[in-house]
Amino acid sequence: MIDPADLPQLNAQGLIELLDQAYPHECIRPDEDIIAAHRRAAKRELVDELINLLSQARDATEE
What is the pLDDT averaged over residues 26-43?
A: 95
Say whether pTM exceeds 0.85: no
Closest-CA residue to 11 (of 56, 60, 63, 50): 50
Query: What is the share, in percent, of the chain residues with pLDDT greater than 90?
Result: 63
The mean pLDDT of the chain is 89
CB 13 within 8 A of CB 50: no
Rounded CA separation 58/37 (Å): 32
pLDDT exceeds 90 at position 1: no
SS3 assignment for the chain: CCCHHHCCCCCHHHHHHHHHHHCCCCCCCCCCCHHHHHHHHHHHHHHHHHHHHHHHHHHHHHC
Determine the pLDDT at residue 2.
Answer: 63
Per-residue pLDDT tens over the stretch 7-23:
677 788 888 998 999 99
